[in-house]
A and B are shown apart, each in its own frame.
Chain A
Amino acid sequence: MRSKARFIGAVEIGTAKVAVLIGELVRDGSVNLIGFGECQSHGVIKGIVTDFKAASDATHSALLVAEQSAGVKIDEVYLAQTGGHLDGFSNQASASVSAADNKVSDVDVETVCRLAKAKSLPEGRTVVHHIRRPFHLDGKMVGPTPEHLHGERLEVGYWTVHGRESVIANNIHVVRGFNVLVGDMILSSLASGTMMTTPQDRQHGALVIDIGAGTTDFVFYQDGSPHLTGVVPVGGGHITNDLTLGLRVTEGQAEKLKLRHGRALVHTRDKGDKVWLNGDFAIGDRQFPRRSIELITEARVWEIFEVVKKKLGPDFGPEACAAGVFLTGGTSKLPAIADAATKVFGISAHLGEMPPGMDDKLNRPQHATVLGLLHFGLQNRGGAGVPKRRRSGGFIQKLFAGS
């Protein structure tokens, strides 16, 4: 029944665009996608809000367009979080099973989880996610619910993602300026990773790289759950910038050249092969060597992958990532980017695909994050990987937030 449904808005405030997707959460827990809004982003650099007013205007425009297309008012928002300020660390804890018969109880699980999450952060940092890794009982991996199993020592690890509190507060307040509550905050990489991979992929080990305009987000799955995540503050916008400097053209012209002739691997061998800037033979139209464009784009793409590989550290390897590398995000449309990833990571890489049946308008790599926000957010409502939702505000606050 429509009146009983809740309307969740998934909001991604990116460097190049702000995307909002509205999902209707019905009683049985399923979600209907009912509205979408997108507009050009302003006041955001490398995923961080630098101009509050400009970012607010852009975000609110996208929210308004989405609400108008859906014909409903958003109840709460799931907000994507990205940016170079995000960092992560792993923390493990173990606890002796307290029962005399060595049967794991709820208390044991709660204790070991609490210990693993308990780590002080530097001043000005705040936790975005506690991502739980699989439990181990006496050194052997067990399922997500170790209760009632027998063993002496229970261990668990958490990958804790934290960010600069002021940056995160800015993101929240941009959305709150529209008078709607932020119900959950989800890493962009986790959102797009959920959309790009199947549970089997995650079980076998998979690396998802979401190359946006200002940042590159990645998540490495192992044993079915996120093992580590990261953000590299470099994206497709930097390729454009390199072309601007290298070819001495404007940003708009560089973007056009990137989209038309850019490649992640150099393909052209003929140095005399040239392309026109505009192709209309008007004043100012000129030619550039195709090979130069490909060299510039290849160098930057290669660098992005190298940085990601370096951040993955020793845990990442071909044997730990059997499902391969999945590429998504707007820049993943660059030709031969999967080949470049294969060369850098030494494992098979391919462009991620949306689940079948997706609407044509949304079935694009740049929308993976916003789609994944809804999927991941609803999947993990009160789940183990994400802290349980705090009761938000009460009756009066809900009244105000609802309109």
Chain B
Amino acid sequence: MSEATTQPPRARSWRDIPQEIEPRRMSRVGRRRLNLAFGRTVAMVVALGALSWGGYEIWQTLQQNPQRLTAGNESRPIETIDLQTNGVLDDAWLRQTLDLRDGVGLMELDLYALRSRLTASGQVRTAVLVREFPATLKVTLEERSPVVRLKAKLGEPEPRTFLVAGDGTVYRGEGYGAPLVRSLPWLGGVRLRRAGDGFEPLDGISQLADLLATARAGVPDIFASWRVVSLERLSADGQILVQSTQVPEIIFGVREDFYSQIARLDLILDETSRRATAPLRSIDLSVGASQVPVAFSPPTSFFP
């Protein structure tokens, strides 16, 4: 036993053993954990630094020129408008529609308002506007494709041609070539209703577009003879009427697939062109596959 007279020596404890270990002595898992921890530390330091720097900048600005905080960020005036579209619209239409004043800065643009201008015409389904610094406005458009045309008055004294897209949107149509427009059949049997500066989308156009696309792909010669398509019996009887140069009335039913109806039409036109003596008056394809009522015009009388 010992008395407390002097400071006794302290025995070395396991806690005095240094726990530091070189990374190369660590296992793969250990090194990965170390790297993760290092990355986390660096990220934290960077984040803290960025926060501190930002805070310092704001403080400096508040001290020297507080108005700068509320002022818009001045950027260089727009030099380029880069247009990408899947349709026919061109740079001229874009510049005219955007109607940007000269020397406007990129950051001054109200992209939401510009997008509204672009989609207002109806021809543009979606528009994406992106600022590409320092001085480029990138515009990406997705345009509607016309399936039929119609004539209507919209504030003008004379009726003018409008195009109808597959989703029923009625729009004026800019940039389309005349041959393309002439190849579209006229639309009849619909009631146009005004909505804002244009018309409300039409119902039933998706079924019509399906019919026209099937005909255009399957029997392009027959389709080329179609002049007018009418939806007047669509809601009541489920029928689409087509007036062509060959037949005054072709009736399609929407309850049967259009491909088989067009195939029957092709067969009937083929047969009648070879055998019939009188011109066709109507072909009703809406009855079904078992029978197709075909009417002929009365033969020209040989007797006065």
Interface residues of chain A, those whose CB is within 8 Å of chain B, are: 56-57, 60, 63-64, 73, 92-96, 111-112, 114-115, 117-121, 125-128, 155, 160, 162-163, 165, 168-169, 172-173, 176-182, 185, 387, 390, 396, 399-403
Q: Mark B1-18, 1 if CB is under 8 A from A, else 0.
A: 111100011111111110
Which one of A57, A63, A93, A399 contacts B40 once the chains associate, using CB atoms below 8 Å? A399
Known: A179-B34, A396-B41. A94 touches B26 (CB 8 A): no
Q: Give B10's nearest chain A residue, CB to CB.
A: A118
**Distance from B23 Cβ to chain A, minimum over Cβ atoms (Å):** 9
Please determine whether B1 and A94 come into contact, CB atoms closer than 8 angstroms: yes
Known: A93-B2, A118-B8, A179-B30. A403 touches B36 (CB 8 A): yes
A residues in contact with B9, CB < 8 Å: 118, 120
- Contact assessment for A126 and B16 in the assembled complex, using a CB-CB cutoff below 8 Å: yes
Q: Tell me if A111 and B4 are in contact (CB < 8 A).
A: yes
Residues of A within 8 A of B2 (CB): 93, 115, 118
**Neighbour of A178 across the interface among B12, B13, B20, B33, CB < 8 A:** B33
B interface bracket (residues with beta carbon within 8 Å of A): 20 to 34
Tell me the nearest residue of chain A to B36, going by C-beta.
A403
In the complex, A188 Cα to B150 Cα: how many Å?
93
Bound together, the chains give a CA A125 to CA B10 distance in angstroms of 13
* B residues less than 8 Å from A96 (CB atoms): 3
Cross-interface CB contact of B13 among A93, A173, A387, cutoff 8 Å:
A387
**CB pair A56 B27 closer than 8 Å:** yes
- Residues of chain A within 8 A of B14, CB atoms compared: 126-128, 163, 165, 168, 172, 185
Q: For the complex, give the distance between the alpha carbons of A364 and B34 in Å.
A: 35
Q: Is the beta-carbon distance between B3 and A95 smaller than 8 angstroms?
A: yes
Contact present for A115 and B27 (CB under 8 Å): no
A229 to B155, CA, bound (A): 105
Q: Is the CB of B17 within 8 A of A172?
A: yes
A165 B26 Cβ-Cβ under 8 A:
no
Q: Which residue of A lies closest to B40 (CB)?
A: A403
Return 22 A-B CB contacts under 8 Å, by A number: A60-B27, A60-B30, A73-B33, A115-B4, A118-B2, A118-B10, A120-B9, A126-B13, A155-B1, A165-B12, A165-B17, A172-B19, A176-B26, A178-B27, A178-B33, A179-B31, A179-B33, A390-B15, A396-B41, A401-B37, A403-B34, A403-B36
**A60 and B29 in contact, given A95-B3, A179-B34 (Cβ under 8 angstroms):** yes
Nearest Cβ on chain A to B101's Cβ, whole angstroms: 54
User: What's the minimum C-beta distance from B149 to chain A, rounded to whole angstroms?
Assistant: 64
